[in-house]
């Protein structure tokens, strides 16, 4: 690599080069030609689903080109800055073996590289931040490093090429197949044409679907159409959950680190979301709508980590560094990720937005997050009766950015394929399931290729819905939901599978996205090895049974097994 390029690389990574593998993958930003003219698979999007799909394919000897819009792979866990939302059984079941290997590798990275306290060293299920949201709250950079290390052997043997800072902008399709895609280098505008046997859409917004002519839906279905208990009265393609520009901050007691007043602060400090049912008041406040009851609910905030009475301390909620887990004095204070109700951006839908509208929404969403940070520094109520915490500090280095924000918005909802099978609330919603079938368990899918669980959790939408949050049941991932109605060689590996607006609320979280991606990667590998189509596997009982046996040997659970 030329010295000029290396210096530019360091600037791109905000001064952070975490491992040889990270550096190696960054080098792909500057590659102008693909050395493998036609890889087996092009995976567009290197979020958790894209990485899981690529890793599965590579383990099976396939050649892969993996593209990514940012300079970090890992999606919602890294470039979007969201500690993993997981279910209560995650340490022992309810996710593929590979996902647990990933989680264990994150913990091992801390043990090998950080000065942990003696107590933390001995803790099997180490939670570096002791955050309340997850059993594994950690720095985005660590997850990115671990994922890069997983990919390094395949960069070395030439089976994998990673194109960071690249985005798919065009596609060519013929009949029911995608022939090629064009990816653009976001740094210099250069374009590369990629042909492959299969294409995986692991983009955050399902970008390949319209480009390839794959049939899709977005927004919310009507209750008449979906027969869902919590469905809306009318369908609305623009009714999409809020997205969030997450950020990291730490706290230095006694310091004065107040930033300049954000450009749009006066707007956001007085902003009241226009939702039905109504929000609890101003967005920048320590009150919000209780997701389950929609009644006003008080929150607390104390960056020293102290308890805030009966109210949740938001600082502890997504804390990724708890100084108590490290040698005394290693950290000046803890580090916490801000992905709260107060910085959910509800004023626009990114799906299908023009470039100017997309950029405008991102700018306003960043202004909302900066305004929240400034409000916390200057105006947030303190337990001692004062206002503001001037010792708060933005940590853009933690997020890999120059502006303090995550590299990419946290996307909760995507375009969704029109699938061979669509998961509806009657299949996984606790109340709806009981009404329809009298069952207290989720629907059994004979074509299951994975399992997962999370409550159905829809954040306020840009069309004015308040939270939709209710109980679901431990569920399976049906193969039919991963297959487009028509397209033969394009498969989804993110939030773009065959769900509804409602059921997207439990199929969109970290371990489920990983599970979807790995199932898709193994499906493609199996199809190529056996000279079968994914559709043929799905529709033929013996092929389906053989494929399910194949993925179980890879450590994928296809059914839940609870002790009675």
pLDDT tens digits, one per residue of 39-56: 999 999 999 999 999 999
How are beta strands 198-201 and 41-44 bridged, if at all? parallel
CA 161, CA 36: separation in Å to the nearest integer? 9
Query: For the whole prediction, is pTM greater than 0.85?
Result: yes
pLDDT band, very low/low/confident/very high, at 14 (cuts 50, 70, 90): very low
Per-residue pLDDT for 19 more than 50?
Answer: no
pLDDT score for 23: 33
- Rounded distance between C-alpha atoms, residue 148 and residue 132, angstroms: 27
For residue 250, the tally of other CB atoms under 10 A from its CB is 21
Q: For 372-381, what is each residue's pLDDT tens digit? A: 999 999 999 9
Q: How far apart are CA 200 and CA 52, in angstroms?
A: 11
pLDDT over 90, % of the chain: 93
Lowest mean pLDDT among 13-17, 215-219, 224-228, 383-387: 13-17
Three-state secondary-structure class, residue 116 = strand
The H or E element containing residue 363 is helix 355-378
Residue 30 has pLDDT above 90, yes or no: no
- Bridge partners of 458, per DSSP, are 468
Indicate the pLDDT class of residue 26, thresholds 50, 70 and 90.
Answer: very low
**Domains defined for the chain, CATH in brackets:** 3-83+138-211 (3.50.50.60), 219-237+415-553 (no CATH), 243-399 (no CATH)
According to the model, what pLDDT value does residue 564 have? 53
Rounded distance, CA 534 to CA 480, Å?
Answer: 10
| Per-residue confidence (pLDDT) for residue 75, from 0 to 100 | 98
Question: At 277, is the pLDDT very low, low, confident or very high (cuts 50, 70, 90)?
Answer: very high
Q: For residues 57 and 29, is the Cβ–Cβ distance under 8 A?
A: no
Band the pLDDT of 34: cuts 50, 70, 90: low
Peptide bond connecting 358 to the previous residue in cis, omega within 30 degrees of 0: no
| Residues 288-315 pLDDT 10s | 999 999 999 999 999 999 999 999 999 9
Region 461-480: what's the mean pLDDT?
98
- Structure confidence at residue 24 (pLDDT): 36
Which of the four pLDDT bands, split at 50, 70 and 90, describes residue 28? Answer: very low
The reported pLDDT for the residue numbered 36 is 54
Q: Please report the pLDDT score of residue 563 as a whole number.
A: 75
Mean pLDDT of the chain: 93
Which range, of 4-8, 326-330, 549-553, averages the lowest pLDDT?
Answer: 4-8
What is the band of 550 on the pLDDT scale with cuts at 50, 70, 90? very high
Q: Tell me the CA distances in angstroms from 289 to 103, 186, 199, 295, one per residue in order.
A: 32, 39, 41, 5
* Cα angle value 424/177/25 (rounded, 5°): 85
Pairing assessment for the beta strands 191-195 and 177-185 based on DSSP bridges = antiparallel
């Amino acid at each position: 690599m030329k010295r000029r390029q290396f210096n530019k690389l360091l600037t791109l990574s905000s001064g952070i080069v975490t491992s040889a593998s990270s550096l190696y993958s960054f080098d792909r930003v500057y590659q102008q030609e693909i050395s493998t003219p036609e890889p087996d698979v092009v995976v567009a999007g290197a979020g958790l689903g894209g990485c899981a799909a690529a890793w599965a394919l590579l383990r099976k000897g396939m050649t892969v080109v993996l593209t990514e819009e940012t300079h970090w792979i890992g999606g919602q866990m890294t470039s979007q800055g969201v500690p993993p939302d997981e279910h209560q059984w995650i340490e022992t079941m309810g996710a593929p073996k590979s996902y647990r290997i990933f989680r264990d590798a994150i913990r091992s990275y801390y043990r090998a590289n950080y000065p942990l306290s003696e107590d933390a060293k001995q803790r099997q299920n180490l939670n570096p931040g002791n955050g309340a949201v997850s059993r594994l709250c950690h720095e985005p950079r660590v997850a990115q490093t671990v994922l890069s290390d997983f990919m390094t052997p395949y960069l070395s043997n030439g089976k994998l090429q990673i194109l960071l800072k690249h985005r798919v902008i065009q596609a060519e399709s013929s009949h029911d197949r995608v022939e090629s895609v064009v990816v653009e280098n976001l740094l210099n505008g250069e374009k590369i044409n990629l042909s492959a046997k299969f294409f995986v859409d692991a983009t955050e917004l399902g970008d390949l679907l319209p480009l390839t002519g794959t049939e899709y839906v977005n927004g919310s279905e009507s209750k008449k159409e979906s027969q869902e208990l919590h469905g809306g009265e009318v369908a609305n393609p623009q009714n999409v959950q809020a997205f969030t520009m997450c950020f990291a901050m730490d706290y230095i007691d006694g310091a004065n680190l107040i930033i300049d007043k954000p450009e749009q602060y006066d707007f956001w400090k007085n902003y009241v979301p226009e939702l039905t049912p109504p929000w609890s008041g101003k967005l920048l406040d320590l009150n919000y709508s209780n997701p389950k009851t929609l009644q006003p609910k008080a929150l607390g905030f104390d960056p020293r980590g102290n308890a805030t009475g009966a109210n949740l301390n938001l600082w502890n909620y997504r804390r990724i560094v708890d100084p108590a887990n490290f040698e005394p004095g290693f950290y000046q204070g803890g580090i916490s990720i801000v992905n709260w109700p107060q910085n959910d951006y509800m004023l626009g839908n990114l799906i299908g937005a023009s470039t100017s509208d997309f950029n405008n929404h991102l700018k306003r969403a960043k202004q909302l997050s900066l305004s929240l940070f400034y409000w916390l520094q200057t105006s947030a109520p303190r337990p001692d009766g004062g206002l503001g915490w001037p010792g708060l500090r933005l940590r853009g280095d933690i997020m890999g950015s120059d502006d303090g924000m995550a590299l990419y918005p946290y996307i909760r909802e995507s375009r969704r394929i029109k699938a061979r099978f669509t998961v509806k609330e009657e299949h996984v919603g606790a109340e709806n399931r009981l009404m329809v079938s009298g069952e207290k368990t989720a629907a059994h899918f004979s074509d299951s290729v994975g399992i997962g669980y999370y409550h159905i959790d829809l954040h306020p939408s840009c069309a004015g819905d308040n939270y939709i949050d209710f109980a679901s049941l431990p569920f399976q991932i049906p193969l039919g939901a991963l297959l487009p109605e028509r397209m033969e060689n394009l498969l989804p590996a993110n939030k773009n599978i065959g769900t509804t607006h409602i059921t997207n609320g439990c199929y969109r979280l970290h371990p489920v996205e990983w599970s979807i991606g790995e199932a898709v990667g193994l499906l493609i590998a199996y199809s190529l090895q056996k000279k079968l189509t994914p559709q043929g596997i799905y529709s033929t009982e013996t092929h389906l049974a053989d494929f399910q046996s194949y993925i179980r040997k890879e450590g994928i659970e296809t059914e839940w097994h609870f002790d009675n």
